[in-house]
Amino acid sequence: MFPSYLEHPTDFCFEGQDPDEKVLLLLRAHPITNLGWITAAIVVFLGPFFVPKILGFFNFNLSTIPQTFIVMILIINYLLVLIITFEGFLHWYFNVYIVTEKNIIDVDFHSLLFKNIDVAPLRNIEDTSSSMGGILNSIFHYGNVFIQTAGATRNIDFHSVSRPHHVADFILDEAHKIYGRGRDAYHHPD
The pTM for the full model equals 0.81
Return the CATH number of the domain spanning residue range 5-11+21-29+95-186: 2.30.29
pLDDT tens, residue by residue, 10-24: 888 888 888 889 999
- Given a cut of 50, is residue 187 above it in pLDDT? no
Q: Could you please report the per-residue DSSP string of 37-53? A: HHHHHHHHHHHHHHHHH
- Given a cut of 90, is residue 7 above it in pLDDT? yes
Nearest to 27 by CA among 126, 96, 123, 125: 96
| Helix orientation angle between 67-94 and 35-57, rounded to the nearest 10 degrees | 160
